[in-house]
Amino acid sequence: MEIIKEEREDNKIKLRSARDISIKLLNFIPDSEFILKYELKTFNKKTRFVAPEVLEGKEMWEPLINILKRSIDIYDCEWKYKVLNIINGKIENNNEDNESDDNSEEQQDKEDNTNTII
């Protein structure tokens, strides 16, 4: 019995946060796609204080996927393929990506703070 239990623990699927992925996507989307970037930033603001276990669930992934579906119809550019690969988990975190993710998240937090102060 213990052997089967250990095998199951090794085969667990690593869940990813929809907010972390959306922040990572912002690094690959060109500035010309301002509507998509705006929608992702809005998604990030709305999910800022959501519990981590909820961010990994269906409730957060469906809105993120819907945002991408509205903006990306045809995969005709390199950045669109990168977005697809990130969503599918084919592009893993590299050292360069981790640094840009940290900077992007800090920048997103600063934007959130500056936009809320009136």
Q: What is the DSSP string of 45-63?
A: HHTTTS-HHHHTSHHHHHH
> Would 70 be classed as within a structural domain?
yes
pLDDT in the model for residue 25: 95
DSSP reduced 3-state for 93: coil
Instruction: Assign 111 a pLDDT band (cuts: 50, 70, 90).
Output: low
pLDDT score at 118: 40
Specify the pTM. Answer: 0.69
pLDDT grade for 117, boundaries at 50, 70 and 90 = very low
In a domain, 7, yes or no: no
Please indicate, yes or no, if residue 76 is contained in any of the structural domains: yes
Q: Is residue 86 part of a domain?
A: yes
The number of folded domains in the chain is 1
Q: Which of 61, 59, 60, 83 has the alpha carbon at shortest distance from 71? A: 83
- Report the run of H or E that residue 100 belongs to, with start and end: helix 95-116
Confidence of residue 86 (pLDDT cuts 50, 70, 90): very high
Nearest residue to 18 (alpha-carbon basis) of 68, 72, 87, 71: 87
Quote the domain boundaries for residue 85: 15-116
Residue 18 contacts residue 82 (beta carbons within 8 Å): no
Judge whether residue 110 has pLDDT over 90: no
Q: What is the pLDDT of residue 107?
A: 60
Examine residue 3 and state whether it is found in any structural domain, yes or no. Answer: no
Predicted confidence at residue 98, as pLDDT, reads 44
In a domain, 8, yes or no: no
Specify if 41 maps to a domain: yes
Residue 2 lies in a domain: no
**What is the C-alpha to C-alpha distance for residues 93 and 86, in angstroms, rounded to an integer?**
9
CA dihedral (47, 13, 58, 77) positive or negative: positive
